Amino acid sequence: DQQVKQNSPSLSVQEGRISILNCDYTNSMFDYFLWYKKYPAEGPTFLISISSIKDKNEDGRFTVFLNKSAKHLSLHIVPSQPGDSAVYFCAASAGVSNFGNEKLTFGTGTRLTIIP
């Protein structure tokens, strides 16, 4: 049962344009969402997160949008740069507000390729 889904295994975007990566989840208990970026042979690197009490969080070129009613979140990268080429993972956790669960449930990832 895949509770966090990234339905696009790959995405190609022209340099300078906007990259939009999507993620859907099924568990309504999730209350904290994160995006990670992963290069080959390296561990995932944290990019940006959002709490369920917000619908948008912005950090430089990266913006995450959360639509709780649709159980959907997206990561926008503007403008896209060649160094952004990597695999992006969406992750979610539940019950963090209770000083509890640190378990992250990950999607299967989307490989983003930025075309120069």
Partner 1 sequence: KAGVTQTPRYLIKTRGQQVTLSCSPISGHRSVSWYQQTPGQGLQFLFEYFSETQRNKGNFPGRFSGRQFSNSRSEMNVSTLELGDSALYLCASSFRTGGGTEAFFGQGTRLTVV
- Contact positions vs partner 1 (CB under 8 A): 31-32, 34, 36, 41-46, 49, 51, 89, 91, 93, 96-109
Q: Judged by CB, which is closer to partner 1: 12, or 45? A: 45
Give the shortest CB-91-to-partner 1 separation in angstroms.
8
> What single string gives the DSSP state of each residue in 39-95?
-TTS--EEEEEEETT-SEEEETTEEEEEETTTTEEEEEESS--GGG-EEEEEEEEE-
Q: Judged by CB, which is closer to partner 1: 14, or 26? A: 26
Give the shortest CB-18-to-partner 1 separation in angstroms.
24
Evaluate the omega torsion of the peptide bond into residue 79 and state whether it is cis, within 30 degrees of 0. Answer: yes
Strand, helix or coil for residue 18? coil
Give the shortest CB-115-to-partner 1 separation in angstroms.
24
Give the C-alpha separation, 43 to 80, whole Å. Answer: 22
Residue entry with tokens 């507000």: 97
Q: Judged by CB, which is closer to partner 1: 79, or 111? A: 111
H or E, element range at 34: strand 30-38
Q: Judged by CB, which is closer to partner 1: 49, or 79? A: 49
Give the shortest CB-74-to-partner 1 separation in angstroms.
18
